[in-house]
């Protein structure tokens, strides 16, 4: 996941906001990190709390995604109004990370069945070649299909273990 964020930052230097803490941004009201950014990446988002907190977050997110302009609130600085050109990449391991209603047209996320065809040892206790297959659509726009596959690259807990020992 982080390679995608890093790639965006390399493609558009100084125009990508990395590691945006969206819940904290909504809570504090300070959003200078997204000023003049064409992309904002949110890592490990998972809106917890009760239904009222999730609904409040959902409402704030919808406003952020669809506003023609946004007010940039800089800590210890003046507020400025900018045209909203920011596109968002929200990443999470949680299936219920962001509260979205089924009829919401602003953002449509579909989790397709996990990709398992690349897995060399499908019955292994820990899979080394499976991935998430997700389709994202904004409004009536074209679909973007995202595939994230974990290939054994020597990462923990795979380090020093053969595929056979992970069964």
Tens of pLDDT along 35-90?
999 999 988 777 767 777 778 888 888 888 888 998 999 999 999 999 998 988 88
Q: At residue 8, does pLDDT exceed 90?
A: no
Please state the rounded mean pLDDT for residues 26-40: 93
Residue with tokens 């990370």: 97
SS3 58: helix
Distances (CA, A) of 130 to 11, 147, 158: 28, 10, 14
Q: CA 83, CA 36: separation in Å to the nearest integer?
A: 9
DSSP 157: T
Report whether 150 contacts 118 (CB < 8 A).
no
Exposure of 108 by Cβ count < 10 A (0-12 exposed, 13-18 middle, 19+ buried)?
middle
């Amino acid at each position: 996941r982080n390679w995608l964020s890093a790639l965006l930052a390399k493609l558009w230097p100084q125009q990508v906001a990395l590691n945006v803490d969206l819940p904290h941004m909504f809570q504090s009201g300070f959003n200078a990190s997204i000023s003049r950014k064409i992309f904002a990446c949110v890592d490990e988002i998972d809106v917890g709390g009760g239904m009222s907190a999730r609904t409040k977050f959902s409402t704030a997110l919808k406003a952020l995604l669809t506003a023609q302009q946004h007010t940039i609130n800089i800590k210890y600085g003046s507020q400025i109004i900018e045209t909203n050109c920011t596109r968002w990449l929200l990443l999470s391991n949680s299936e219920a990370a962001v509260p979205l209603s089924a009829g919401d047209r602003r953002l449509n996320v579909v989790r397709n069945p996990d990709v398992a065809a690349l897995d060399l040892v499908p019955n292994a206790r820990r899979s080394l070649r499976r991935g998430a297959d997700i389709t994202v659509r904004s409004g009536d726009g074209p679909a973007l299909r995202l595939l994230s596959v974990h290939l054994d690259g020597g990462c923990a807990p795979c380090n020093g273990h053969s595929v056979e020992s992970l069964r």
